[in-house]
Structure formats: structure tokens, C-alpha cells
Amino acid sequence: MAGAASEQHQSHGAMDIAEQAATFAMFNSMTKWGSLFVATLLLFLTLWFCTGAGFGGAAVTAIIVVALGVALLRSRRQAEAAH
């Protein structure tokens, strides 16, 4: 009687964790790309308004940082699929 209402998995690894794994991967991805975006935005605004580089110099530097960031932050699966 009590067995049917309170069935629990007592063994480790019996639960399907596909949703948790997908959420964890999405959180890591959003953190990685969000950090690149914030760092690039801060660099761009700092160079544009606080130095003599002006808009052009700041834009060129920001584009270089984004290109390097994308090249270095891509996951191995994405990099292998591109080849």
C-alpha cells in the first residue's frame, strides 16, 4: 500500500539528468559569451571616451578582441564541425 505511493530510486545514477545537463551547458555558454560581450563593450567604451584612440581605434580594437574571443572560446565540437 505505501510502496506504490512513495516509490523512490535509491540507487545512484538511476535518474535521467538530460535536462539538468542541458541547463548546465546553456548556463556555461551564456556565461562565456556574455563575459566576452561585456569585456569587449567595456574595452570599446574605455578606448573611445577615455583615450585619444577615438571611435575608429576603439572599433578596430573591439573587432580584434571579438575575433580572438570567438576563435578561443568556441567549443571543440563547434570547431571540429566547422572543418
Where do the domains of the chain lie? 41-83
How far is residue 16's CA from residue 30's CA, in Å, rounded to a whole number?
A: 23
Tell me the pTM.
0.72
Minimum mean pLDDT range among 4-8, 16-20, 30-34, 72-76: 4-8
Q: What is the mean pLDDT of residues 14-30?
A: 91
Interacting residues of 48 by C-beta distance below 8 A, sequence separation 6+: 54, 55, 58
Q: Rounded to a whole number, what is the distance in angstroms from the first to the last CA of the chain? A: 59
User: Across all residues in the chain, what is the average pLDDT?
Assistant: 87
Quickly list H helices, the chain.
2-5, 18-50, 54-73, 76-82
